[in-house]
A and B are shown apart, each in its own frame.
Chain A
Amino acid sequence: MEFLIQNIFNALQWGSFYALIALGYTLVYGVLLLINFAHGDIFMVGAYIAFFVTAFLLGDFGGMASGALPGWAILALAVPLTMALTSCVGVTLERIAYRPLRRKGAHRLYVVITALMCGLVLENGNLALLGASRKKFPELVDKAIWTFGEVSVTNLKVAVIVAAVAVFLILQTIVTRTKIGMAMRGISYDKFAIPLMGIPVDSIIVFTFVLGSGFAGLAGLLFAMSYPILEPYMGALIGWKAFIAAVVGGIGDIRGAFLGGFLLGFIEIGVAAVFPSTLRDLLAFSILLVILWWKPTGLFGVAKTTKI
């Protein structure tokens, strides 16, 4: 029983990361109908940005006096800084790579290939610039362990889960209750009529990228705090799997991404608890194939009809 509850907590934490990244995928897809394949690598960049921000605040680069700030203050500063800087990366990508193609009205395939390549450039550029040595993320907040009977939960785990739920609620509110969210839904509905209604399409798209990349940055920071070893290829596999989570939930749907992320987390932790853990990826991908075969547009997705 304790083993089960312990694993449920682990799955919730693992699923939170997937959910956070899947939300970014879904946001961009919902507006642009574009799979932003570079999103996983934006998450990786977010983790690295978090590393450099905290290192700067801890006084490693001589910007600050060492030990001037307590750990919680550094964390409080690092969260918005990381989110802002990662958003800048996402928006830059949109500006340089996606927008010119969109302006030309290029085929969607070309945009997808460009996204894929941007991801590779981010990964390998990071590897080339910073070297292959792994970075160790500093511990900011003392680990507190709360035990309930046999089950122990760290404060970090709770923070991650709470963050994922909070982000989900924020996004759901933005998309369903605000004007800007309405504009987002409008663009995905009909991108030719929307500019005629006086809605600045480009700013809305930039805002979408800001949201998605910002939360990817937050996920990167939390991930780096939970598993404090950073390497350039960390974003690739997690990004793919988060994307799978988004697809399984029905891409373009916020609830779907959130639930899909947790579903994948539970599947993976369940597999790792029962089978040898090397089979984790294989089973995760197989389950994706089965789900897509059964429901080609995901659990929450709406079936598309083609007009002839």
Chain B
Amino acid sequence: MQKYTFNAVLAMGAIVIVALSYYEVLDLYVQTVLMLMGINIILSASLNLVNGYMGEFSCGHAGFMCVGAYVSSLVTVILFTKDKVFGAPVLDPELAVWFFPVAIGIGAAVAALTGLIVALPSFKTRGDYLAIITIAANYMVISAIENMDFIGGPRGFQGMKRVVNSMTDVIDIPWMMIWIIVGTVFSVWLLRRFVSSTYGKGIIAICQDEVAAEIMSVDTNRMKLAAFMLSSGLAGLAGGLFAHVYGYINPQSFNILKSTECLVMVYLGGMGSLSGSVLSAVLFTLLIEALRFFIPELNAMMHGIGILPDSYEIGQVWKWVIIPMVLILLMQFRPEGILGNKELADVFPRLRKFYSFK
């Protein structure tokens, strides 16, 4: 029984969180932070597949998230809500409960296809040039969506809240919380299974030495294709969840800054360490939320001591100075991240007793 402890704890935790959300013990802010944590876990774990396990440098992850967010939102809004642009709902809104995971899946699939933009050039180019292509892909996605006026263009897109509301009308439980927990567990499970399978070990082989991997019968091109598409597909899944949690998206919320957040999480956790990714996503979300409260405190404190001139206020924009600084310092002093290419169970071997993984 001992080896099922981890699964039992995970299930218990999920049920407890959902129950607390249902009885509104956790206020909406805490719920949102928890959901954001789940989304960040998906993002950092999926980017870790390319940046950590495969050793490439992809820094346009938010572009795929953008595709997933837009596609899944469009599907749900067109099918289930009365919209000014798209007219009456195509299906009965009560079906949204059953159709929602399918819509998210469609978003993820389209995001995976968008991943081809990056995956195909990656056969020939490596390293720096590939980094440029990923950034270009990020810009291209944002620029393309800004040019599509029928989905709002740069003004953004909304209406996903109505979908979630029609879901709660049918059965009144915190749907988004449930789907985010399901999505997070599914993503981490999928990645864990993938990189430890015989097939997925090819990715780690590419990271070590591409030429040797090719000689040892790893089909490197196919492996790269699989890695990029899986990574961008999961990013699309995260994007779809993100869109339905917040109910409003605009292309600029998926720009290079969002990609930078993903990068920070991956390198903070450690390249090629899934548990590190999960851990760092949790820590990073907490850090960002803490900064939200900490910066006004700091501002008040510094004004109190009299270091700052009265005309100057420390604003939330400092968050974006502090986060890159954290990463710079990390690169200087501990470039391998918190766990650094090891799983949690490698650092604490006793944990192995509590889960079964063959």
A residues sitting closer than 8 Å to B (CB atoms) are 35, 97, 100-101, 106-110, 112-114, 116-118, 120-121, 124-125, 127-128, 236, 240, 243-244, 247, 278-279, 281-282, 285-286, 288-289, 292-293, 296-297, 306, 308
Contact = CB atoms under 8 A, between A and B. Distances in A.
A101 B129 contact: no
A128 B335 contact: no
B151 interface: no
A282 B147 contact: yes
Given A282-B140, A289-B121, 19 more contacts: A35-B132, A101-B331, A113-B331, A114-B332, A116-B59, A116-B260, A116-B263, A117-B328, A118-B324, A120-B257, A120-B320, A121-B321, A124-B318, A124-B321, A125-B321, A128-B320, A282-B147, A289-B136, A297-B129
26 contacts: A35-B131, A35-B132, A113-B263, A114-B327, A114-B331, A117-B324, A117-B328, A117-B331, A120-B257, A120-B260, A121-B321, A121-B328, A124-B318, A128-B314, A128-B318, A244-B132, A244-B136, A279-B143, A288-B136, A289-B117, A289-B133, A292-B125, A292-B133, A293-B124, A296-B121, A296-B125
What secondary structure prevails in chain B residues at the interface with A?
helix
Interface residues on B, range: 35 or more
Instruction: Across the A-B interface, give the 10 residue pairs with the lowest CB-CB distance, nearest first.
Output: A117-B324, A124-B320, A120-B324, A282-B143, A285-B136, A128-B317, A281-B143, A296-B125, A110-B331, A296-B124
Query: A106, A109, A118: which has the most chain B beta carbons within 10 Å?
Result: A109
Contacts of B307: none
Interface of B: 57, 59, 117, 120-121, 124-125, 127-129, 131-133, 135-137, 139-140, 143-144, 146-147, 211, 256-257, 260, 263, 267, 314-315, 317-318, 320-321, 324-325, 327-328, 331-332, 335
B211 A118 contact: no
A290 to B, nearest CB: 10
Contact of B267 (A113, A281, A286): A113
Nearest to B325: A121
A39 to B, nearest CB: 13
Contacts of B147: 278-279, 282
